[in-house]
Amino acid sequence: MLGRLHALALVLATALLAAGCVAPASRVEPGAADLDALEASRLPPPTEDVSGAIVSDHGAPYLHALPHLHGGSYGLELVGYNPLTRPGETHPLTWSSGYGAITMSGHVACVSGFAGTGGYGGAILVDFEDPTKPTVLSSIPTGSLQARCQFTDDGKYLMLAAYGGVTPGTPLPMPFADLLSWGVSFYDVSDPKAPKFLFHSAVGASVGNPSNVASGPYHNIDSETVDGVTYVFQTYTCNVLRLNDDASGLEVVAELEHCNHDFWTGIHPVTGVRTLVTGTNADGTAFIDITDPEHPITIGLYEPSEGLEGWHRQWPLDELVDGKALIVVAGEQCGNGKSLPYTVLDWTDPAAPIELGSWIIPGAPEIREPGQLCSMNSHEFNTYKGYVASGNYHAGVWVFDVGTPKRALEPVTIGYYEPNEDPRAHGGVKNTPFAWSPDVWGAYFDDRGYILAADWATGLYILKVPGLTQE
């Protein structure tokens, strides 16, 4: 989403300066994958036609900005909601700040604020142990375009990664130490109600390099703790960084061969190898052995067929499907309003991934009005028991199933949800309207099968999938 984010970065700078055969797989230690079979029935496809659920053309320009025209759903139900703008609950500087990526540590979620429509960026920590009552624990205004917040494996530290900026950081007190900066800010969140700022780092980003603004070396990061040492993987630069023992800074210790955009790190469910998955500059997917993160080794590459991409987001199933490891990959094409396909790969042998089936939003909606960015594109997603939950910007949240051999070849649509709550009806302050409402950055399953999604202007939504979510 480079075109869109670069434009928003400039806006901010200007404003501030003026289950068929599914088997569970272990993620404990390399070589410890549990390959026992688990039989489970799969959810059925919709009994009604949903190919026109997402409207491409409302009959007049710019009506995609009106939330009341976008409130459809099928197969997904709203369980809990928080507008993230309630006075006295959330810091006012995090209001209207383009709610985007979500990561979780247990049942605490971190919602990133991109600061694209009037806010000042940062992050909001939310307790959703009770999914019907998501509660703000704390908020962290930063003054930068917060693309992602990422917990370390133990949940002790939180990293706030900035998309881009005009400075590597300033010697100002927080929350302004990373004002308009690139880089990453570390917080101790042992007590999520009272985040403690530790340091801001621009290690790995070159001062004066225009790419720091245009593509953001810290736009996406991931972390992995190996033998008690926390490593941070940095997009675009391909740097591998190590967190100091006293959590006082980062040091570059290695470089990846591939690092285009999102990362997934974890244990391969068949080989037991600690693996990093990321995109390639050829719109494909790279599989990298990070058993020793300071000496990463590329294992294999996926080169997509025409019309398919795997460079932006990659997420594996935690389970095996008929003894095979599957992963879903998708690309992004900002500059248009199209919906894009998701591809299912068999990566049982990551050195020789096999392309299986693909899925696209029914009806393949597309906004053709001038000025489109990535309005219906695939974006962030993850998996649960063979199902995929995905955020698709203006097309909302969708769920599809790849959890049987047949459905891996022909993925089945399960349902969708378009967020359209009014924050004022829930004690919140209405945020600045956005050109596409809703606008969903990503959708993410928790360990119970609830789906968390943030709408750019209206806040945090928690959804359930009846028959799948473990209520």
pLDDT, tens digit (0-9, with 9 covering 90-100), for 287-300:
999 999 999 999 99
What are the residue ranges in the chain where pLDDT is below 50? 1-21, 23-39
Give the integer Cα–Cα distance in Å for 23 and 321.
6
Give the integer Cα–Cα distance in Å for 47 and 24.
29
Reading the block at residue 332, the tokens are 């992004």
User: Tell me, what CATH number does 391's domain have?
Assistant: 2.130.10.10
**pTM of the entire structure?**
0.91
Give the integer Cα–Cα distance in Å for 343 and 402.
10
Reading the block at residue 120, the tokens are 């000042």
Give the integer Cα–Cα distance in Å for 183 and 285.
25
Predicted pLDDT at 395: 97
Phi, psi torsion values for 426, nearest 5 degrees: -125, 25
**Residue 289 is assigned to a structural domain of this protein:** yes
Q: Is the dihedral of CA 120, 121, 127, 128 positive or negative?
A: positive
Q: From 290, 298, 161, select the one nearest 227 (Cα to Cα).
A: 290
Predicted pLDDT at 6: 35
**Residue in the block written with tokens 């801001």:** 200
Per residue in 121-149, pLDDT tens?
889 999 999 999 999 999 998 878 888 99
Cβ atoms < 10 Å from Cβ of 73: 18
Q: Which amino acid is at 274?
A: R
SS3 label, residue 187: strand
Cβ atoms < 10 Å from Cβ of 99: 33
**Residue 470 is assigned to a structural domain of this protein:** no
- Residues spanned by the domain of 254: 2-464
**Residue 33 is assigned to a structural domain of this protein:** yes
Helix-then-strand count for the chain, H and E: 3, 33
Predicted pLDDT at 4: 35
Give the integer Cα–Cα distance in Å for 7 and 311.
22
Give the integer Cα–Cα distance in Å for 49 and 46.
7
**Residue 321 is assigned to a structural domain of this protein:** yes
**Residue 469 is assigned to a structural domain of this protein:** no
Q: Which amino acid is at 25?
A: A
**Residue 471 is assigned to a structural domain of this protein:** no
Cβ atoms < 10 Å from Cβ of 40: 14
Domain total of the chain: 1
Contacts of 15 (CB under 8 A, 6+ apart): 118
SS3 label, residue 102: strand
Angle value at C-alpha 54, between 11 and 20, nearest 5 degrees = 115
Predicted pLDDT at 177: 60
Q: From 342, 368, 339, select the one nearest 355 (Cα to Cα).
A: 342
Give the integer Cα–Cα distance in Å for 79 and 130.
10
**Residue 78 is assigned to a structural domain of this protein:** yes
Q: β-strand 108-113 against 221-226: which pairing, if any? A: unpaired
Predicted pLDDT at 245: 95
Cβ atoms of 316 and 325 within 8 Å: the answer is yes
**Residue 6 is assigned to a structural domain of this protein:** yes
The secondary element (H helix, E strand) that includes residue 108 is strand 108-113
